[in-house]
Structure formats: C-alpha cells, structure tokens
Amino acid sequence: MSLPKFIVGMIFAIAIVVGWSYFDGASLGAIILRAVICAVIIQLGYFLLVFAMIARNKPLPADGTREADRGIKVAESEKLTARRGSLR
C-alpha cells in the first residue's frame, strides 16, 4: 500500500471514530482521546506491516541489484565499463 492511500484511509478511519463518538454523546475530551488512540493503533499497524515486509525479503548482492534495476544481463566475471552499460 502506498503512503497516500494509507493517509487517506487513516483520515477516513479517524473521521468514522470521531463521528461515532459524537453521535454516541461523548465529551470533546473523549472524542479527541479516541481519535488519538485510533491514529496510534493505525500507525503501529502500518509500521509493523512495513517492517514485516522488509524482514521477509532476502538481501540481494550489489551486482544483482544493479542488474535488476537496469534490466541488463551481464556475466559475473564481466565488469561494466563506460562503453557498455555504465550510468555515465
């Protein structure tokens, strides 16, 4: 999930909690407290989700990452030079 989608979803969730609290007859302090608790729980869940996604991925060697980013297939013994596949 991208950050903008997450933020929009979080705003809608907090708005629902605030609306529910208002129609439930809660005081202003209770409404604010519920909104803050909701925001903290959502942020914590998002952090744990991103952390789990990062922890699950295996690190790639630097050469493999470079090749994957550019889509270039190069033999392991071959070095990239300015004439072939360099970023310059």
Residue partners of 36: CB distance under 8 A and separation at least 6: none
Domain ranges (residues) in the chain = 3-57, 59-88
- CA dist., res. 75 & res. 78, Å (int): 5
Q: What is the pLDDT of residues 48-67, one digit of tens each?
A: 988 998 888 876 666 555 55
Question: Residue 77's pLDDT is what?
Answer: 64
Kindly tell me if the per-residue pLDDT of 79 is higher than 80: no
Residue partners of 17: CB distance under 8 A and separation at least 6: 34, 35, 38
| Confidence band for 70, pLDDT divided at 50, 70 and 90 | low
Question: Residue 86's pLDDT is what?
Answer: 53
Q: What is the pTM of this model?
A: 0.58
Structure-token pair, residue 61: 């060697």
